[in-house]
Amino acid sequence: MHEMSLAEGILQLVEETARREQAQRVKTVVLEIGQLSSVEASALEFCFAAVAAGGVARAARLVIVDVPGAGECLVCGLAVPMESLFGICPGCGSHRLRPTAGTEMRVREIEIE
């Protein structure tokens, strides 16, 4: 389960931010997770709660914003929506699609007090 290591990395970033800003607690962490990122949001939420227990982010609410997948056909250049990393270009039928959005995962916002 790679979500556990992702949750640990997120928590490290959140704790460093809280320490730098001298925050007493973290209220909310907003994450952007791409549809093509291979990250299971519910597993990440579970893992984050587990690793954050007992720390400054123990009661933090994790908000996940879905980022839709998109790509470009390397044969005809058509921009296409993508629901998985492997698909077919609706324009020319090629399987040579390059993802242009939806593979990312980033911390967008940390609300502290």
pLDDT for the residue numbered 21: 96
pLDDT for the residue numbered 88: 93
Where along the chain do its domains lie? Answer: 3-112
Q: Label residue 25 exposed, middle or buried (CB < 10 Å: 0-12, 13-18, 19+).
A: middle
DSSP character for 69?
Answer: E
Residue 64: CB atoms within 10 A of its CB come to: 17
Q: According to CATH, what is the number of the domain 3-112?
A: 3.30.2320.80
- The per-residue pLDDT for range 90-103, each reduced to its tens digit, is 999 999 999 999 99
pLDDT for the residue numbered 1: 56
From 42, 34, 40, 48, select the one nearest 4 (Cα to Cα): 48
> Rounded to two decimals, what is the model's pTM?
0.86
Regions of the chain where pLDDT drops below 50: none
